[in-house]
């Protein structure tokens, strides 16, 4: 009982402390990230406030058969929709597939796991992880893209990774055997966070058969920097596009869905984010 009481008191104190902004998401979301230097020494309870909420999501991606099944399902559905698109004789432009990278074709859960275990947060260790070029392929991605390439489609990777990570990203993609992994087909983040200008650039000369991503912003700019109610309402309004034109990959570890809860991206202390997450829950 004494140990239990001590934990509750320690955890409550940790929650009440104002901590540095965590920047818990990043990679391919469209929010401006806050640059964070090496983390200061943290107690176990302080680290828990920052990252404990990501443990199950990361374990789900790394250990569950269900996660793998959802990925295979997404790419199998993509193949069916591509076959349908290929029968459309009215298309008079070059067909292409447009994909996000992080958690869409590359699995970055080892980076997330290190952040949890060490009580750190994005962007700490992110460049180090990307430069290892060691991310594994998302289940089903290679087979699908090989099929698309064999049917004459171009493959474009539209990512919000920064430009200085281009060479290591290309190495990772090429080492795994992804098609069209070259400078022309890899479109890094520009001075504009939104991917919409890059999608529009591709549309001018091509027909986009399918878009793949783990974030609603990978499909349309209408979701960018909007609150959860608006984002959900737009998904309902556009529901016929999902599974037809837009193929969504699972990612509960990070994303704009989480930033939308906080209201202004990552510019809040971890203790306040903890409170916001709990208040956002709907019980009975």
pLDDT along the chain (284 residues), means of 10: 42 40 49 36 59 95 98 98 98 98 98 95 96 98 98 98 98 98 97 95 98 98 97 98 98 96 81 93 97
Handedness of CA 215, 50, 266, 172 (dihedral sign): negative
Report the run of H or E that residue 130 belongs to, with start and end. helix 126-132
- Write the DSSP symbol of residue 94: E
Q: Identify whether 114 is part of a domain.
A: no
Q: Identify whether 24 is part of a domain.
A: no
Q: Identify whether 33 is part of a domain.
A: no
CA angle, residues 130, 169, 246, in degrees to nearest 5: 105
The predicted structure's pLDDT at residue 46: 63
The predicted structure's pLDDT at residue 139: 98
Cβ neighbors of 44 (< 8 A, separation 6 or more) are: none
Handedness of CA 15, 116, 138, 224 (dihedral sign): positive
The predicted structure's pLDDT at residue 45: 63
User: Which residue reads 């001590």 in tokens?
Assistant: 6
The predicted structure's pLDDT at residue 5: 41
Range of the domain at 189: 68-109+137-279
The predicted structure's pLDDT at residue 65: 98
**Integer CA distances (angstroms), 284 to 229, 274, 281, in order:** 19, 20, 10
Q: Which two tokens stand for residue 55?
A: 């443990």
Q: Identify whether 58 is part of a domain.
A: no
Quote the pTM value: 0.85
Q: What is the CATH number of the domain that holds 258?
A: 3.40.50.1000
Cβ neighbors of 200 (< 8 A, separation 6 or more) are: none
Contact present, 94 and 154 (Cβ < 8 Å): yes
Q: Are strands 136-137 and 106-107 parallel, antiparallel or unpaired?
A: antiparallel
Domain count within the chain: 1
Q: Identify whether 275 is part of a domain.
A: yes
User: Which residue reads 């171009």 in tokens?
Assistant: 154
The predicted structure's pLDDT at residue 25: 41
């Amino acid at each position: 009982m004494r140990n239990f009481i001590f934990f509750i008191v320690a955890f409550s104190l940790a929650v009440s402390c104002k901590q540095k902004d965590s920047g818990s998401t990043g990679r391919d979301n469209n929010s401006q990230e806050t640059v964070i230097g090496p983390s200061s020494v943290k107690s176990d309870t302080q680290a828990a406030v920052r990252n404990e909420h990501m443990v199950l999501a990361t374990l789900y991606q790394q250990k569950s058969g269900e996660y793998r099944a959802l990925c295979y399902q997404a790419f199998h559905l993509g193949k069916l929709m591509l076959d349908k698109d290929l029968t459309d004789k009215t298309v008079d432009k070059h067909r292409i597939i447009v994909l996000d990278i992080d958690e869409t074709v590359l699995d970055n859960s080892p980076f997330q796991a290190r952040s949890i275990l060490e009580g750190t947060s994005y962007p700490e260790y992110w460049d180090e992880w990307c430069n290892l070029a060691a991310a594994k392929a998302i289940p089903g991605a290679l087979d699908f893209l090989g099929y698309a390439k064999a049917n004459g489609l171009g493959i474009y990777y539209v990512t919000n990774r920064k430009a200085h990570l281009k060479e290591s990203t290309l190495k990772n993609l090429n080492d795994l055997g992804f098609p069209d992994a070259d400078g022309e087909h890899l479109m890094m983040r520009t001075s504009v966070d939104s991917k919409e200008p890059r999608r529009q650039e591709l549309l001018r000369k091509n027909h986009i058969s399918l878009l793949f991503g783990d974030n609603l912003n990978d499909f349309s700019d209408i979701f960018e920097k909007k609150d959860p109610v608006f984002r959900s309402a737009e998904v309902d309004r556009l529901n016929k596009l999902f599974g037809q034109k837009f193929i969504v990959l699972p990612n509960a570890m990070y994303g704009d869905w989480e930033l939308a809860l906080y209201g202004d991206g990552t510019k809040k202390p971890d203790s306040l984010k903890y409170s916001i997450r709990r208040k956002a829950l709907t019980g009975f």
